[in-house]
């Protein structure tokens, strides 16, 4: 970590490229025989194709599916859109209803809202206060004309893990395919799509120490689904995602996923210890609330709301020392509190004064200590200014001492 940059605790937003992945990508970029178009029939194309197919096998092995089920694209957002719009459009004569939850990533929510604009109906399941979707709630939302259910595996804000197998089971009983946004899953916990019962899954390279600009949609053959393509051109990826394949990006994703599968458990154990250290120090401040059910969350993501301060001030007080994400979209106008935390029942004020700490493979104990100290200092300073703790539910009285 550079001395002039803040501690990076925003791994859920993006992970650094693993040096081993970078070396593998560089080898492809500098391989004079590997620049060809993987769709070409000649030897250069064959070499590129060979690399792409090897990466496809790596990705498939990491997530528990067949290589032929992996459709490469540019990112998880594109995969989400292809899955949701693709299924909905293909089966438009069968029904025009999809089911999702209020705490999905924007890539899913906005794709569903686009369907709404096109005449589909969308049901939004409200998760439990712990942040996970109950299969029973999904059952209640499914209808005879439902053509797709889409739920994320690991929530990007809270780290809470949905019971995908349970949700898939109730969907399967009613003949509804399940799409899973698994962008945050790879490398965080074992992923076996074949066992999960999901029909489709979206994956991202850069959330697992791979490069940005590459992702994949897994379309399980056993689901027997068809998709309407969302882009047209050369017919790559079985006609579902036209566009020349980016060989070096795909190779990078394959290498990253192979490493993630191999090192998942070791990473998890080490990061869990670091997250516990961070959590313990911050919860000791008092007036700090954990968002999401810790017992059902991956250890990499710790989302906390801090009482007694406004969200923009909290972020401003630490931004030079810790790089992380907050529960509000800070603009110069009105901050918009996190819709995920609001769906979990947090007040707008507490949603805004929340911080998402996301740790990763390269996080060190010293970085955790630096971050904990910076946040603690900011919290105590801002509480001194706001007069927290407030005596009543309002803010009529304070216990603050006279200032300097």
Partner 1 sequence: MSAATHNVAYSALTRRYFEHPVNAGVLHGLGVGRGEAGAVAEGTWVRFDVQVLHGIVTAARFTAFGCPHVIAVASWITEAAAGRPGTPALPEPVPALRLRFELPVEKLGRLLTIEDAWCAAIRAAVTNLGAALD
Work out which of 144, 192, 334, 364 binds partner 1, going by CB under 8 A: 334
**What contacts 35, CB < 8 A, 6 or more positions away?**
44, 48, 247
What stretches of 335-402 adopt beta strand conformation (E)? 336-337, 354-358
Size of the site for partner 1 (CB under 8 A): 48
Give, as ranges, the residues between 341 and 360 that touch partner 1 (CB under 8 A). 347-349, 352, 356
Which C-beta is closer to partner 1: that of 9 or that of 251? 9
The burial of 126, by beta-carbon neighbours within 10 Å (0-12 exposed, 13-18 middle, 19 or more buried), is given as middle
Taking CA 120 as the corner, what is the angle to CA 116 and CA 126, rounded to the nearest 5 degrees?
65
User: Which one of the listed residues 65, 75, 264, 330 is annotated catalytic?
Assistant: 330
Which of the stretches 73-81, 90-98, 215-223, 310-318 binds partner 1 when contact is defined by CB under 8 A?
A: 310-318
String marking each residue 42-81 x if it binds partner 1 according to CB under 8 A: ----------------------------------------
The Cα 364–Cα 370 span in angstroms is: 10
DSSP 257: H
String marking each residue 4-43 x if it binds partner 1 according to CB under 8 A: --------xx------------------------------
- Residue 389 touching partner 1 (CB under 8 A): no
Which C-beta is closer to partner 1: that of 283 or that of 384? 384
The Cα 208–Cα 76 span in angstroms is: 12
Does the bond joining 44 to the residue before it have cis omega, within 30 degrees of 0?
no
Work out which of 335, 359, 368, 379 binds partner 1, going by CB under 8 A: 335
Taking CA 210 as the corner, what is the angle to CA 24 and CA 182, rounded to the nearest 5 degrees?
140
The Cα 399–Cα 390 span in angstroms is: 7
Q: Look at the alpha carbons of 322, 323, 328, 332 in this order and tell me if their dihedral is positive or negative.
A: positive
Q: Residue length, the chain?
A: 404
Cα-to-chain-centroid distance, residue 399: 41
- Nearest distance in Å: CB 61, partner 1: 31
Give, as ranges, the residues between 96 and 155 that touch partner 1 (CB under 8 A). 106
Which of the stretches 85-93, 161-169, 197-205, 395-403 binds partner 1 when contact is defined by CB under 8 A?
A: 395-403
Active site residue 330: yes
| Six-digit token string for 11 | 């791994």
Which C-beta is closer to partner 1: that of 103 or that of 196? 103
Work out which of 86, 177, 327, 360 binds partner 1, going by CB under 8 A: 327
Give, as ranges, the residues between 219 and 248 that touch partner 1 (CB under 8 A). none
Which of the stretches 58-66, 174-182, 271-279, 336-344 binds partner 1 when contact is defined by CB under 8 A?
A: 336-344
Q: Using DSSP bridges, classify how beta strands 322-323 and 7-8 pair: parallel, antiparallel or unpaired.
A: parallel
Strand (E) or helix (H) holding 377: helix 365-386
Catalytic residues: 330
Binding site for partner 1 (CB under 8 A): 12-13, 106, 156-157, 308-310, 312-313, 315-317, 319, 325-336, 338-340, 347-349, 352, 356, 384-387, 390, 394-396, 398, 400-404
């Amino acid at each position: 970590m550079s001395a002039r940059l803040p501690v990076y605790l925003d791994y859920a937003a993006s992970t650094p490229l693993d040096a081993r992945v970078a070396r593998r990508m560089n080898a492809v970029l500098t391989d004079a025989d590997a620049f060809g178009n993987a769709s070409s029939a000649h030897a250069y194309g064959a070499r590129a194709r060979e690399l792409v197919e090897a990466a496809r096998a790596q990705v498939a092995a990491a997530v528990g599916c067949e290589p032929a089920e992996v459709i490469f694209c540019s990112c998880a957002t594109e995969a989400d859109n292809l899955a949701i719009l693709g299924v909905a459009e293909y089966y438009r004569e069968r029904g025009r209803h999809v089911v999702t939850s209020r705490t999905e990533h924007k890539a899913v929510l906005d794709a569903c809202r686009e369907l709404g604009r096109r005449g589909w109906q969308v049901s939004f399941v409200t998760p439990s206060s712990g942040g996970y979707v109950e299969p029973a709630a999904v059952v209640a939302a499914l209808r005879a004309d439902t053509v797709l259910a889409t739920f994320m595996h690991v929530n990007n804000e809270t780290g809470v893990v949905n019971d995908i197998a349970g949700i898939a089971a109730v969907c399967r009983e009613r003949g509804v395919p399940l799409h899973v946004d698994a962008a945050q899953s790879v490398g965080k916990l074992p992923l076996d799509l074949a066992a999960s019962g999901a029909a489709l899954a979206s994956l991202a390279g850069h959330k697992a120490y791979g490069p940005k600009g590459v992702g994949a949609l897994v379309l399980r053959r056993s689901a027997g689904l068809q998709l309407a393509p969302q882009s047209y051109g050369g017919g790559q990826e079985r006609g579902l995602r036209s566009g020349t394949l980016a060989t070096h990006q795909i190779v990078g994703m394959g290498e990253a996923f192979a490493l993630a599968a191999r090192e998942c458990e070791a990473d998890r154990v080490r990061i869990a210890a670091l997250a516990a250290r961070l959590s313990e120090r911050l919860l000791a401040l008092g007036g700090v609330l954990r968002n999401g059910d810790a017992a059902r969350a991956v250890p990499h993501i710790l989302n906390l709301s801090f009482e007694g301060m406004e969200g923009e001030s909290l972020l401003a007080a630490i931004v030079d020392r810790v790089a992380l994400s907050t529960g509000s979209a800070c603009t110069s106008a009105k901050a918009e509190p996190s819709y995920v935390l609001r769906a979990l029942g947090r007040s707008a004020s507490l949603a805004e004064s929340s911080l998402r700490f996301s740790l990763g493979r390269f996080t060190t104990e010293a970085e955790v200590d630096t971050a904990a100290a910076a946040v603690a200092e900011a919290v105590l300073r801002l509480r001194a200014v706001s007069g927290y703790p407030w005596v009543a539910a309002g803010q009529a009285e304070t216990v603050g001492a006279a200032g300097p």
